[in-house]
Amino acid sequence: MSTSRGTLPRPSPSNNAVVVLGAGRGLAAVLRALRGQGTRLTVIVSIADRRGDGDEEQRRVTGASVEDLRRSLEALSGEEGALLRAMRRPLTIERLGQHPLGNLVIASAASAFDDYGRASAWFGEQLGIEGSVLPATSEAVQWDLEPFEDADDANAQGDSADEPSRLRFIGDRIDSPLAAIEAIEHCHCALLAPGSLYRSVLSTAAVPDLAAALKATQARVVWIANLEHDPDQRPSMTVVGHLLALRSNGVRVDAALYDPTAALKFDAGELERYGVEGIPRTLRNTRDPRTHDPERLRSALGELIALQPAAGPGRPRD
């Protein structure tokens, strides 16, 4: 199933165009914070699964690979209407258990359109969302981790706990929709949403077409950091380890937005040594320190986007 490179609208340069890449609950939190900010928003979402995570046919039938497309569409929907409630409604499928109706409908629409991007665009129109939600890859693919053959290639200069793994995509087509590539090339600001390092961030931003677009864009690429250690990674993995994993997998990072009071500790001086600007802001929710406070995140992102220099295509940053 492929996303046609000519079926989706192509963005033009804009000083309020924002691109957010990621998956999972961290991405949904960022989208809720950005909703209503007056930005022209493009969301690029992973539809990739790790090899060996469940039965492939079952995931296809239940629409599990489009879970984050559905969550992103929900997060950008301004009204709690009947369609939105129906999308969240669990539906029991014999022998396959309960799954959100929205997953099944999006997967069915993608099959009917033969295009994940068109299916997401159609659903977004029905929900009246702000912006657009695009898949990171033209087809649902798989990924796996493998060690780098040469540690120097990975820039693994720190402790062995910080040595990153290479995320390898598996599939016949790992290309991305042209609309997603052009959105990055012409955006005013590119944000990497918080989330699981490999399952959410790298499974989206490390897709070859998207990583190349991030390298070429004039916009600043800002990593919105987690508040706690990634449960999928070693507890000893440091912030530098996260940064090395991003960079060694080809993902550019210019700045890191982080909470200096969070469990995941950042050192602005250490970030600077790696050429990354540290942007400390209070982001934690006082009721649940593991999650971002919606209003604090909204304020920090609003300030960040307002301060970005106007982007222009074809002139990559140094």
Q: Is the predicted pLDDT of residue 159 greater than 50, yes or no? A: no
Pairing of strands 277-280, 142-147: unpaired
Which of 70-84, 86-100, 235-249, 272-286 has the least mean pLDDT? 86-100
- Judge contact between 134 and 44, C-beta under 8 A: yes
- SS in 3 state form for 151-216? CCCCCCCCCHHHCCEEEEEECCCCCCCHHHHHHHHCCCEEEECCCCHHHHHHHHHCCHHHHHHHHH
pTM of the model: 0.84
- Residue 151 or residue 248, greater confidence: 248
The two counts, helices (H) then strands (E), for the chain are 12, 12
- Confidence tier at 200 by pLDDT (50, 70, 90): very high
How high does pLDDT run on average in the chain?
Answer: 82
DSSP 133: E
What is the Cα–Cα distance from 210 to 250, expressed in whole angstroms? 10
Mean of the pLDDT values across residues 50-74?
70
pLDDT at 52: 74
pLDDT at 224: 96
Q: Is the predicted pLDDT of residue 105 greater than 90, yes or no? A: no
Q: Could you report the per-residue pLDDT of 231-246, keeping only the tens digit for each?
A: 777 777 788 889 999 9
pLDDT at 92: 66
pLDDT at 283: 95
pLDDT at 87: 74
What does each C-alpha distance from 246 to 42, 152, 219, 253, 296 come to in angstroms? 21, 15, 18, 8, 25
Q: Could you report the per-residue pLDDT of 118-150, keeping only the tens digit for each?
A: 888 888 888 888 889 999 998 888 999 998 876
What does each C-alpha distance from 293 to 229, 245, 264, 281, 288 come to in angstroms? 18, 27, 16, 11, 8
pLDDT at 164: 84
Could you tell me which CATH class the domain 17-49+132-306 is placed in? alpha beta
Report the 10 Å Cβ neighbour count for 269: 8
Q: Crossing angle for the helix pair 178-185 and 208-216, nearest 10 degrees?
A: 20
- Residue 85 or residue 273, greater confidence: 273
Burial classification of residue 17, based on how many CB atoms lie within 10 Å of its CB (0-12 exposed, 13-18 middle, 19 or more buried)? buried
Estimate the share of the chain in helix, then strand, then coil, as percent rounded to the nearest 5.
40, 20, 45
Domain residue ranges of the chain, discontinuous segments joined by +: 17-49+132-306
Q: Is the predicted pLDDT of residue 255 greater than 90, yes or no? A: yes
